[in-house]
Structures are given as C-alpha cells and as structure tokens.
Amino acid sequence: MDTGLHARLREAGTDALTCAAQVFRPTVEADRAGLASLFSAGRVLQVHDRLLDQLGELLRIQSPARRFTAHELDLAVSDHLAGTRLEDHGVWVFYPWSGRLVHLLDEAEFARVRTDRNRNKITAEEQAVLSTKRIGVIGLSVGQSVSLALALERGFGELRIADHDDLDLSNLNRLRSGVHNLGLPKTVNVAREIAEIDPFLKVTCFHEGITRDNLDRFLTDGGRLDVLVEECDSVDIKVLARQRAKAHRIPVVMDTSDRGMIDVERFDLEPERPLLHGLIDHLDPDAAATARTAEEKLPFVAPMAGLHTLSKRMKASMIEVGHGLVSWPQLASSVFLGGALACDTVRRILLGQMTGSGRFHIDPETLLPGTDGPAVVVVRSEPPPPLTLRSMRDALPEAHRTTRPAYPLEEAAVAQLVEAGAWAPSGGNDQPWRFLNEHGRLYLFHEPARSHSAADPGQVVPMLSLGACVENILVMAAGIGIGLTHRLLHVAEEPRLVACFEADGTRVPEGSGLSLWLRQRCTNRRLGDRSPLDGPTKVALLDAAAEVPGAMAHLLEGAGPLDRVAALCGAAERLRFLNATCHHELFTKEVRWTPEDARRTRDGLDLATFEMSAAEVLGMQVASDPEAIALVRAWKAGSAFTNLSGPAIRSSSAVVCVSMPRMDRDHALNAGRAMERVWLRATALGLAVHPVSAPILLGLLADAPVFDASERERIAECAAGIRDVFATGDRSPAFLLRIFRAPAPSERSLRLPLDMIRSTAHAVATP
C-alpha cells in the first residue's frame, strides 16, 4: 500500500551532508531577512533562548572575585547590553537537521564562557595558540571520541575529519550518536555534534574518506596540519598516511582502543624517524597498497595493533573472529579513554609540552588491578633424570654381560643403524631414544627425559616413535645386507631398555627396497591435490602395515569419509588446544618459533615445517597465550580450532589408520613399526604423508590426570568415531596418516647430533 509516506519522508529530510550550523546576526540586515524566511518557510521547529543565563555567566567570569546578588547581576547584564534589545544581542544559530534555532553569545563571548573552566589547565594564552592549529583525524570510531574531546576543549582552529563509512547500529556500542542518525555518514555525525557543542568551530569534512588521491589535500589544503590523528582501519592508508605525514613533517598520533595503547611519531622533530617506530621496517610499505586479503594485511596489522601486547580478552576474541564473532570488539570505555588520551597528547604536542615519540600503554587493567581471569591450571611433569652410560650398562641382561654374540656388529654398521634409527619420526620431534653399542650388540633405550609429559604418564606416544626407530634400524640393516634379529626386551629393573639388535650372520639382499627411502621420509604438512590412489598403491600401503606382527591398516577415501575424519580430528584438536596442560606442552615444550631456536635445539616442531601462511602463524602466536585460551575455554568457544587440519585432510587422497589387537607396550612398539613401514612405502611411491593422530592419541591418553570428566567423555566420542568410521571392530586404532600428492615440504625437521643420543663401550668417559 503506497501511503506516500516515503515521498513525504524524503521531502522532510535535510541534505544528508549538511553539517554546518547557520549563524544569523540580528544586527545584520541580510541575516534578519534570512531568519524571517526560515520562519515563513516553517523550517524552525523549536526555538531555544537561554541568552540571559549565558550573559550572567559571562559577567561572573569577567569579575571572578565578585559575588553578584540577583539584582546586581540583572543590572550588570543591562549595562552590558547597553540599550540593545536582548533578542538583538549575540547570534541566532539555526541547525537545519533538527529545525532548532538557538540564541547564543557571539563567538568571542561564547568562546570565553565555554572555555572558562579549561583555565588554567589550559591558560587563555594557550587557548589562543590552540585556536590557530589545524588537526586532522582519519577514521571516526576512536576518531569520533578524539574529535569530540578536542572540540570540547576547543583545542583547534580547524578540524579536518575523514571517514567513508556510514553509521550502523553495531557502531552504537561506542560511537556517541542517536538512533535517528543511523545511515548518516560518520563525518556528518561528528561535524553535527561539534556544531551543536560549538557552532563557531571550523570543521572540514572528507566524506569520501582518505584515498591516495586526496591524502595530500587532506594534509595540506587550507594550511598544513599541525597534528594528524590516524585512526583508520585500512592498512594501506595507515602506511601511506605516515609516509606522507613524514614527508610533510607532521606528527602522527594513534590510539588503539585496547589497553590504552597510544603511538606518537614526531616526524616534525625527527624527520628521519622510521614509520611506526620501525615496527614495519621489515615490510615493503608499498606492499600495503596492494594488500587485499586478510592474509596480505596481517603482517602490517600485527605490529600496528601490537599483537603481543593485546589484552587477554582481545586475543581470545581474535581467535573467535570469523567463527563466533564477525569482527574484533571495541568498547565505549576503551574508545572514550583513547579519545581522551589522544586529545591530551595532541594538545601537549601543539603547546610544545611533549617532545617524545614511542608506543605507550595507559592500561586501566594494569594500573587498577582487579581479579584475575579464569585460572590456568597446568599439570607439570617433572623431567626424570636422563639415562647415564652406567644406568644403561647396568640394565643389560646378565647373559649379555658374559657372552659375546657370534657375529658382533662392526662399528661402521652400528653407525649406519643408529643414524637410520634417528631419522625416525617422533611425537613433537622429541627423539626419545638413546643407543648403546656394547660388545657388538646394539641396544635401544627409551629416554623419558626427552618425552615425559603430564598428558602421557604411561608414555604411550614415545613407544610409537621408538617402534618407528626399530623399524628404521631393521630396514637399514636389510639395506646394507646385514641379517639382523631384534628382541623387544622387558627388564623389570630398567623399563627404559626397549630392544636389542644382533647380527645373525646372514647376508640377505633387501627385498622391500625401503632402505633407499629412509632419508627421504618426512612429515609433509602441505595441502594435497585430492588425486585418487590407484588399486595397487592402496594394496601396497595396506600390505606394508600387515608385514609387522599384529598390525593392520584401514584406508578411507572420498569426500564423505574424509569429512568425517576431519570432523573427528577437529574435535580432538580443539580439545587439545583448550586443555591447559596440552596447550602448555605444545607451546612451551614443542614449538620452535624461530629458525634459530630450531637450529639451537635440533628437536621440537620447527614452525617453518607447519606450512602456515603468515596470518596463520600470527594466529598461532595469539593462540599461544594460555590466559587468552583460558578465556576461550570459559566461553565454551574455540570453534576456530576445529578446522585446523580439516582443509589438509579434505585435500588428501586417503587416510590410513593403523590398528593393533590392543595397545600394550609391545603392541604400541609394533604399531610404530607398522606406521613407519606404511610411511616409507608411501614415500617410495612418491606420496606425501602427514600424521593426523590427535583423536587416536588422545583416546590412548584419556586416563591421564590432566583431563576432566567432560573432556574424557568427548575424547571417548572421538575415539569411538574413529573406530566406527574405519570399521576397526575389536581392534585398537593406533595411528592415523593422511596420504596425498604434493611438492616436497618447504622445510625438514632437524635431528639431535649423534653423539648426544649414542653411547659406546669406548665412550666410558661420557656420564
């Protein structure tokens, strides 16, 4: 039904960009006519006249020591008017957007009264200096607060404001405005508000926001800015604005509405100062102009926003952005604080009361400490004492001390076998092995000092790694033509002794050909090309597992099944990230954040092997904060973590699950052997491999005291899901590998030096 309402609404509306008040001086003939025509056109909807009060204030301010009676004040006002009728004194100010007509003192008297309470935090002389200054504000979220604070203090002669956005309802948690202004350009909103506070202030609007084309105009047209307040959220403009401000020697102030962070860059005093204190020096500033995706922008945004010093709630919220949140949060309290801080900083710069540059925090949470966030309860595991040569020797079976093997292993062969063993994969690349070469036998020990974990008190995961190590030794022996027998050892007094290898005197040529691939095998965390595996390839992978006693492999392919596996891995990974102890172990023990760290320790997970984009690395850095994670946990959020390996799993050709009849120590070792055999076979077939074992490994660790009842329940669901999707029946899933085609990984993980993991009878001096 057309009631003509919309047409009438359009007619009634003033021009959306009108933001200056109209000032009429009743003593000027043309202005009187203008006022009359406003009335005759019916545009004046409300008249507001409190001029007498303003005059009273003015007179009291002019004689601050005097106590006026009401009568004395009336007389003084009459004297001041000197015969002029009250309605002809001062100015009449018309606000077209509201139809209000307001009677005010004229500019000099108005300014005097309106700034009187600034004195002498701002002296009259300083106020006069400020009234000659030009300030530019780009971005009107925090920028609105800065602008209003500056206007309230009357801290400028001209304010140039720029923003291309309109006011949305979701802005009204922090932008001071009314719901009747929704849809209004933010520039207009600010300019109108300032005009309503003080119609004499000069505000110049750049409604189109700042672009490459108008930036220089913004900085210099009508006189060079004295200070630029940069509060926009576009990376390229942030960089460009600094480049141009520096060129024009204009100081830049930026408040980031989190933890009261404020940046001051005195390009006026330090013309050579690097942009943003040098924080973006490692980036190509011109790359900011072409950065379109979040991925491309993040390297700039991170140092600008101070990623490492963000508040815990901001970090925790950032983890949720794109999942549980549309955008990062901004609070009115932070924005108001930012407005106040920036205004104070700008004033002191303009009055020569501040000369320094830098990044500062005026953080209420630090300055006025409150209660802590949710507790981070980490169960720590004490590292057991490392193995010594003596403890290893003492552990050897009695018979081995008295009998020498018939075919003692030669030193050269031992060296090759140990090296191959050390190439094995291990959980978190912890390399939990030690080798002892004694009397021609090679012994493999578990070094729990390298693998201890509160989440794995039974040390199940290192058994898988040690199993892979056993397999590598056997494969290498076959490769160099040494018949090698091995026994898994169970020495009650020394459970760390795992296996003994002895030559059997035969020289059988290697049938499998796997030894050629020992060195090539690696973890590849790239995405795959989804290409299917042919029948013989699948059979070869399944057969590889079946060559190890008790082991079996199950292979899944196709979008539906891989989606299910991805969901199970996602659920397990979320649990692992949100569990305080697992989080602690991952980030403080396993991850090597820099190449230098990786090279120094030669163990752990080198970030460079994660195949992550720069944005994902920054995400990891944010997620490494245990207190932020505690908040995510308390909010029952963290859905971002459910998709960490999802894309990789879905991009794979297949996922292979190795299963065992059960998972005691020996079966876990054999599971590790089978996993490694599948991995080596896949490598030989030109396929890439990536373990995605979280749901299985968590299932094996569920009894660890680091998990609570609800976590155990979810772990059990994941484990049951894996059994179900791979149809393992009564068998225990032991390991999960995704298999795919992809280029080689961009980085390989390192290994400990051999002399750290190997002891020989000759090295008696080694403790």
Ligand X SMILES: Cc1cc2nc3c(=O)[nH]c(=O)nc-3n(C[C@H](O)[C@H](O)[C@H](O)COP(=O)(O)O)c2cc1C
591 binds ligand X (CB under 6 A): no
DSSP strand pairing (654-660 vs 688-691): unpaired
Q: Provide, rounded to whole angstroms, the least separation between the CB of residue 461 and ligand X.
A: 5
21 binds ligand X (CB under 6 A): no
CA distances (Å), origin 251, targets 67, 150, 550, 571, 716:
45, 16, 73, 49, 59
- Which of 171, 189, 437, 465 binds ligand X (CB under 6 A)? It is 465
Residue 269: how many other CB atoms lie within 10 Å: 13
> Residue 229: which H helix or E strand, with range?
strand 227-230
Residues 65-104 that bind ligand X (CB under 6 A): none
Residues 592-621 that bind ligand X (CB under 6 A): 605
464 binds ligand X (CB under 6 A): yes
Locate 689 and state its tokens: 């491999």
- CB-based contact 572:718 (threshold 8 Å): yes
Q: Provide, rounded to whole angstroms, the least separation between the CB of residue 425 and ligand X.
A: 3
What residues have CB less than 8 Å from 85, skipping those under 6 apart? none
CA distances (Å), origin 679, targets 471, 476, 516:
11, 15, 13
**Alpha helix (H) ranges present in 235-331?**
235-247, 285-290, 294-305, 312-320
CA distance 163 to 152: 21
Nearest to 203 by CA among 215, 191, 220, 188: 191
260 binds ligand X (CB under 6 A): no
- Smaller CB distance to ligand X: residue 427 or 479? 427
Q: Provide, rounded to whole angstroms, the least separation between the CB of residue 669 and ligand X.
A: 12
CA distances (Å), origin 216, targets 242, 247, 271, 346:
11, 10, 18, 20
Q: Provide, rounded to whole angstroms, the least separation between the CB of residue 739 and ligand X.
A: 14
User: Using CB atoms, what's the residue nearest to ligand X?
Assistant: 425
CA distance 436 to 22: 93
- Which of 103, 114, 452, 525 binds ligand X (CB under 6 A)? It is 525
- Smaller CB distance to ligand X: residue 429 or 760? 429
- Smaller CB distance to ligand X: residue 464 or 632? 464
CA distance 250 to 252: 6
523 binds ligand X (CB under 6 A): yes
The tally of CA atoms less than 13 A away on the side-chain side of residue 71 is 0
- Which of 54, 256, 426, 581 binds ligand X (CB under 6 A)? It is 426
On the question of a cis peptide bond just before residue 437, with omega within 30 degrees of 0, the verdict is: no
Q: What DSSP line would sit under 640-675, residue for residue?
A: GGGGSSHHHHHTSSEEEEEEES--SHHHHHHHHHHH
- Which of 56, 427, 479, 619 binds ligand X (CB under 6 A)? It is 427
Question: Mapping DSSP to helix (H, G, I), strand (E, B) and coil, where does residue 479 land?
Answer: helix
Give phi and psi for 106, each to the nearest 5. -75, 170
Which region among 204-212, 290-298, 425-433, 717-725 touches ligand X (by CB under 6 A)? 425-433
Residues 479-518 that bind ligand X (CB under 6 A): none
Q: Provide, rounded to whole angstroms, the least separation between the CB of residue 617 and ligand X.
A: 15
522 binds ligand X (CB under 6 A): yes
Q: Provide, rounded to whole angstroms, the least separation between the CB of residue 409 and ligand X.
A: 25
Residues 678-697 that bind ligand X (CB under 6 A): 690-691, 693-694
The backbone region for 607, taken as left when phi is positive above 0, alpha when psi lies in -120 to 50, beta otherwise, is alpha
Provide the residue type at 90 as one letter.
Answer: G
DSSP strand pairing (100-104 vs 46-49): parallel
- Smaller CB distance to ligand X: residue 257 or 652? 652
718 binds ligand X (CB under 6 A): no
Q: Provide, rounded to whole angstroms, the least separation between the CB of residue 422 and ligand X.
A: 10
425 binds ligand X (CB under 6 A): yes
Which region among 301-309, 461-469, 475-483, 659-667 touches ligand X (by CB under 6 A)? 461-469
- Smaller CB distance to ligand X: residue 93 or 689? 689
Q: Provide, rounded to whole angstroms, the least separation between the CB of residue 428 and ligand X.
A: 6
- Smaller CB distance to ligand X: residue 156 or 679? 679
Residues 728-767 that bind ligand X (CB under 6 A): 748-749
- Smaller CB distance to ligand X: residue 126 or 573? 573
- Smaller CB distance to ligand X: residue 136 or 425? 425
What residues have CB less than 8 Å from 579, skipping those under 6 apart? 455, 706, 707, 711
Number of residues forming the site for ligand X (CB under 6 A): 19
CA distance 296 to 287: 8
- Which of 229, 235, 389, 461 binds ligand X (CB under 6 A)? It is 461
127 binds ligand X (CB under 6 A): no
Give phi and psi for 715, each to the nearest 5. -60, -45
- Identify any residues that bridge with 229 across adjacent strands, giving them in sequence order: 137, 253
- Which of 429, 472, 652, 653 binds ligand X (CB under 6 A)? It is 429
Which region among 130-138, 459-467, 503-511, 617-625 touches ligand X (by CB under 6 A)? 459-467
- Smaller CB distance to ligand X: residue 602 or 748? 748
Which region among 108-116, 162-170, 172-180, 420-428 touches ligand X (by CB under 6 A)? 420-428
Residues 174-193 that bind ligand X (CB under 6 A): none
Q: Provide, rounded to whole angstroms, the least separation between the CB of residue 752 and ligand X.
A: 12
CA distance 442 to 425: 20
- Smaller CB distance to ligand X: residue 589 or 748? 748
Q: Provide, rounded to whole angstroms, the least separation between the CB of residue 535 and ligand X.
A: 27
Site track for ligand X across 322-361, x = CB under 6 A:
----------------------------------------
Locate 222 and state its tokens: 């009508």
**Alpha helix (H) ranges present in 306-460?**
312-320, 332-350, 364-367, 389-395, 398-402, 411-422, 448-451
Residues 646-685 that bind ligand X (CB under 6 A): none
CA distance 650 to 738: 9
Which region among 181-189, 213-221, 423-431, 483-491 touches ligand X (by CB under 6 A)? 423-431
- Return residues touching ligand X (CB under 6 A): 425-429, 461, 464-465, 468, 522-523, 525, 605, 690-691, 693-694, 748-749
